[in-house]
A and B are shown apart, each in its own frame.
Chain A
Amino acid sequence: MPRIPDTSPQTLRIFAALLGDPTSWRYGYDLSRETGLASGTLYPILIRLAERELVETRWEPPAQPGRPARHTYRLTADGAALATQRLAAAKPAAKSAPNRGLRADPAGAQS
């Protein structure tokens, strides 16, 4: 059976976080805290999603002078549609296969 892309528990957690408020721009560190993913896991996924234009990125000018500009992220329309669909598909799978469902549950946070 071919693997369906964007269904890893980590990607689903990022989808869930970004779908929380789909129009707002999110910071990497906030996403990291919300999803419980380390930077080394979070950013490679964001990079892949951005390359496929499922996530758009923007440099936000610093709030105070002297602070660095920050990179921010949000789902594109395509990305939001895919994220919704993947999260919906993951839910019934969680019921039918409880062992795997634990890992796919975005609220399952870190083990």
Chain B
Amino acid sequence: MSAWVTRAARVILRRAAGKSVWGQAILAELDEVDGTWATIRWTVGGLRVSWRQQPAAVRRLVVATAGGTAAAVLAGQFLLGVRYMPSGSMEPAIHMSSRVVIDKLGFKLAGLNHGDLLVLHQSGVDGTPQTAVRRLIGLPGDRIECRDGAVFRNGQAVAEPYLAEGTRTDCEPYVVPDKMLYVLGDNRSAAIDSRRTALPTLDDLVGRVIMTL
């Protein structure tokens, strides 16, 4: 164990030291250091010294690159994402094979609004899981029904200017249960949505569309 740590420490310190005299000085002492823990301590200190010996410009570049990469990875993981729109179920608002930029965090802080475009996990007609973009029609407690081809929410007709002209919606009356969402595709005749599949829960939400590319 100790010999293995010493070997690893030598490689790391040699890399870090480069041409720095003081880095080399710390590296040369490594043979004297006894014990695994002492070797690790010596190496960490040596790394700090070698780092401080680097020109400020190099340090800034390394820090900026590492920081930028970390920020980008974090943003991609938790804040933003790009999704491919594989179907025409949201025509005409989102065309097939376009890409959408989604916000993964903001909606959790700001809450959801009727009419939001959501990216969520749902099961397809044959039960296979898929990720879909759908429009939020009903929040928990809302009573959704369709009359004469138009959607009504809690007895009021929903204004849907985003639909293609002449679109008709047919659905069964439904009261949205707690923690669930009622979503519809804009392409009402083709979309697989809450009229046909199990309602998505809040846990199924991936994000909210903020931009179409």
Contact = CB atoms under 8 A, between A and B. Distances in A.
Contacts of B49: 39-40, 43-44, 47
B101 to A, nearest CB: 44
Contacts, number: 58
Contacts of A3: none
Given A43-B49, A71-B24, A28 B31 contact: no
Contact of A44 (B25, B31, B32, B52): B52
A24 interface: no
Nearest to A42: B45
Interface in A24-76: 27-30, 32, 38-44, 46-47, 57, 67-71
Taking residues whose C-beta sits less than 8 angstroms from the other chain, chain B's interface range is: 20 to 34
Given A38-B44, A40-B44, A71-B24, 19 more contacts: A27-B29, A27-B32, A29-B42, A30-B32, A32-B42, A38-B45, A39-B29, A39-B45, A40-B46, A40-B48, A42-B45, A43-B25, A43-B46, A44-B48, A44-B49, A47-B53, A69-B28, A70-B25, A71-B28
16 contacts: A27-B29, A27-B32, A29-B29, A29-B42, A38-B42, A39-B41, A39-B44, A40-B46, A41-B45, A43-B26, A43-B45, A43-B49, A44-B48, A44-B49, A44-B52, A71-B29
Interface of B: 21-22, 24-29, 31-33, 41-42, 44-46, 48-49, 52-53
